[in-house]
Amino acid sequence: MSIKKILVVDDELGIRELLRDILIDEGFEIFVAENATEARELKKSKMPDLILLDIWMPDCDGITLLKEWVNEKFLTSPVVMMSGHGTIDTALEATKIGAFDFLEKPITLQKLLKTVNEALKYANNLPKIEINLLNIGKSNVIQDLKKRLDKLVSLKTPLLLVGPQGGCAKICAQYLHPKNQPWIDVKDFEVVSNAPADLLDQHRGGSIFLNEISHLTKSQQKGLNLLISKAVNYDVRIVCATSKSLTQTEDVDFDERILNELLPGSLLLPSINEHKEDIPELASSILTMHLTKSDKSDYKVFDVAALNMMRAMNWLGDIEELESFVFNLMQTSLLEKITAEDVKRVANQFNFLHDKNKSSKKSKGSHDQGLDEIFNKSLRDARDEFERMYFKHHLNNDDQSMVKLSEVSGVERTHLYRKLKQLGIKVK
């Protein structure tokens, strides 16, 4: 069994040394910090199993630091507050914020060891840390997304989240999910067609999330229709997601009646490429999450150049691809610090796999590849590229007839000539 790590945070040297000596004698690995700045760094680098946190410190009080960690949603270990007699009320308040317990100074040996052992037992039952909407970014894009989701929280109507594959649809669905209520991410769509009533009954008061509903068969769509129509009777929120258009596509045959039920509660989700300024912090959070889950004792951290390189990259697979990328870096980097060279190495691996994947899909047509390229451009460039494809398509079909092109596009011929010249399209 691995040695448990404890971080002691107190501005008094005597208390730090006393607690360190006692806990080392008990077989623990101890790290000490005299202020919040050191505590933040040690928490990140050493990932302690328990934190003993003093309330009064010179640069930032313990309550504020605890709130900071709780709000990040990456508090990976229990926190026990330490307080003098005059701060007991404050320490009790800290337990409401998220502290496991508090120790009153002067701390007796028996009370210290009892509290430490109880806190470490509690730590074993803590839920696994996951990426969530509160830690995927602080950009304006994400703040706006939260505000829009907050408007939907009170609605009991079905919701449709539209966004890139591998994006934040599930994260948003979990953000809307009522706390401590049943939740299911439906993986087997057959249960939707075979037992929709059972699904509703088992998740009363909770949420049912169905990702990529464009894949539903006709019978599964009938089941979804039943889920939507009966959900209010079970106080269940139905949240659907798709990365494809549900209308006017050859490979999707979706029931318009269901679509009409979903559209009033639909929301367009941003891709990670729309808020790249969040990527460095998100990548670091993902790394912390995987290090916490793993049994490895070695610490990993990104250097600034590595984070900047990831920020500049194009993430076709969105957040899921970034998570896989970071996990690969954690597993394959040889040194404690993950460098830009490591990022470049793994990027070449991922690009190779993307290229192989694209070549395997060529038999299905290059249309989707063209759309992927358009989506990765700025709005202005994407619009120009689409118009170029649109006009070339109709010119080829109509044998260069400007009359027919004008009729189909609804663009007056004089303006049409000017538009084609602007787009670099030569007309015979």
pLDDT in tens, 144-174: 999 999 998 888 789 999 999 999 999 999 9
CATH number of 140-270: 3.40.50.300
The helix-helix angle for 279-293 and 318-332 (nearest 10°) equals: 60
DSSP H helices in 178-317: 190-194, 196-202, 218-234, 256-262, 279-293, 304-312
Residue 206: what pLDDT? 94
Closest CA to 169 of 139, 213, 138, 201: 213
* Cross-strand bridge partners of residue 52: 8, 80
Q: What percent of the chain has pLDDT over 90?
A: 53
With a cut of 70, say whether residue 411 has pLDDT above it.
yes
Please answer whether residues 241 and 169 qualify as being in contact, where contact means their C-beta atoms are separated by less than 8 angstroms: yes
* Region of poorest pLDDT, from 188-197, 320-329, 360-369: 360-369
Please give the average per-residue pLDDT across 124-147, as a whole number. 82
d(CA 218, CA 215): 10
Please give the average per-residue pLDDT across 128-132, as a whole number. 71
Residue 7: what pLDDT? 96
**Reported confidence tier of residue 366, pLDDT bands at 50, 70, 90:** very low
248: left (phi over 0), alpha (psi -120 to 50) or beta: left
Residue 276: what pLDDT? 95
Class for the domain spanning 5-123? alpha beta
With a cut of 50, say whether residue 410 has pLDDT above it.
yes
3-state SS of 158-216?
A: CEEEECCCCCCHHHHHHHHCCCCCCEEECCCCHHHHHCHHHHHHHCCCCEEEECCHHHC
The two tokens of residue 53 are 């946190």
Residue 225: CA count within 13 A, CB half-sphere: 13
* pLDDT tens per residue, range 15-31: 999 999 999 999 999 99
The residues, any chain, with a CB within 8 Å of residue 285's CB and separated by 6 or more, are: 74, 131, 135, 136
* Region of poorest pLDDT, from 9-18, 53-62, 95-104, 397-406: 397-406
String of DSSP letters for 59-111: SS-HHHHHHHHHHHT---S-EEEEE-GGGHHHHHHHHHHT-SEEEESSPPHHH
- Element holding 238 (H helix, E strand): strand 237-242
Residue 78: CA count within 13 A, CB half-sphere: 18
DSSP H helices in 300-378: 304-312, 318-332, 340-360, 367-375
Q: What is the DSSP letter of 389?
A: H
13-16 LR contacts (CB < 8 Å, sep 24+): 15/54, 15/82, 15/105
Question: What is the average pLDDT value for the chain, to the nearest integer?
Answer: 85
Closest CA to 67 of 42, 106, 93: 93
Please answer whether residues 394 and 409 qualify as being in contact, where contact means their C-beta atoms are separated by less than 8 angstroms: yes
Of the candidate CATH numbers 3.40.50.740, 1.20.1530.20, 3.40.50.2300, 1.10.8.60, the domain formed by 275-360 belongs to 1.10.8.60
* Region of poorest pLDDT, from 201-210, 252-261, 315-324, 354-363: 354-363
**Reported confidence tier of residue 384, pLDDT bands at 50, 70, 90:** confident
Residue 81 — φ and ψ, nearest 5°?
-80, 145
Residue 285: what pLDDT? 85
